[in-house]
Amino acid sequence: MALATTRETLWIDTPQGRLLCCRWFPVLGADPVTRPPIFLLHDSLGCIALWRDFPEQLSEATGREVIAYDRLGFGHSDPYPGSLPRNFIRDEAQRFFALVKQALQIERFVVLGHSVGGGMAAACASAHAAHCTAWITVAAQAFVEDRTVQGIRAAQAQFAEPGHMARLEKYHGDKASWVLAAWTGTWLAEDFSDWTIEREIDAIHCPALVLHGEHDEYGSVCHPQRLAQLSPAGSEWVILSDCQHVPHREKPDAVLEVVARFLRGRD
């Protein structure tokens, strides 16, 4: 059964290259124009396609427009010129997200990020404090933990096995090797070992919802606790039982329910 949404696909030109962007609009329910849209920021190996049907479900559950884009270097967007800078999380918020927001003429917004996209969501809430009404993280990292490093090394070993790179190539094409190297090369680098989310942000004035899987292989429950403390405007953190690093695929109904409840009345 088709979801009650419509989808629009467009390209956004930036000085660094083109970005693929998709927008989902609810067909039924409240007029989404009166509610700030939800931006989705994908994880280190992600892209629009890997959100699967979550954007449609989120739009229908909240009655809001949902917007996702492939970051530069990922999915169908243009290649990234060189290596990711160490401040890539803050840079995404201040540069690329700002360009997408401007191109779409969006004023007020909500931002939701998965994994490293959650750190970017915090950075967006900080960099665009006058326009962000709420921010949401799903399985985000607040610092480089031993579990984070071990999880990335285990994934790196898996991708070295025959056939595993084909999974990335399906979504990123000939950029797949860069995508994997950008993830592992950044998070496993010695000069990144003392990274913390606090480095990427200034003040945050809007409320936060922080979601984390009980058995997340890339971070303990120390991460949601720390992320929730970033927002003095009031925050909520939820540990999803029997869940790992991709709650919106593992526990979609629970995620949609808590997000819709959190956003209700925050227009």
pLDDT digits (tens, 9 = 90+) for 88-113: 999 999 999 999 999 999 999 999 99
Per-residue pLDDT reduced to its tens digit, 4-51:
789 999 999 999 999 999 999 998 655 555 799 999 999 999 999 999
Cα(63)–Cα(74) distance, rounded to whole angstroms? 28
Which amino acid type is present at position 58?
A: L
Beta strand 235-240 with 208-213: parallel, antiparallel or unpaired?
parallel
Strand order in the sheet with 132-138: 5-14, 17-26, 66-69, 38-41, 109-114, 132-138, 208-213, 235-240
The CATH superfamily label for domain 5-263 reads Alpha/Beta hydrolase fold, catalytic domain (3.40.50.1820)
Q: Are 214 and 243 in contact (CB under 8 A)?
A: yes
Who has greater pLDDT, 123 or 34? 123
Give the tokens for residue 187.
């998070």
**Residue 109 CB-half CA count within 13 A:** 27
Q: Which pTM was predicted?
A: 0.95
Per DSSP, helices labelled H in the chain are 54-62, 88-91, 97-103, 116-127, 146-159, 165-172, 176-187, 222-228, 247-250, 252-263
Per-residue pLDDT reduced to its tens digit, 61-88:
999 999 999 999 999 999 999 999 999 9
Q: Are 3 and 60 in contact (CB under 8 A)?
A: yes
Residue range 150-155: mean pLDDT, rounded: 97
Q: Are 20 and 77 in contact (CB under 8 A)?
A: yes
Task: Sketch the domain layout of the chain as residue ranges.
Answer: 5-263
Cα(129)–Cα(135) distance, rounded to whole angstroms? 11
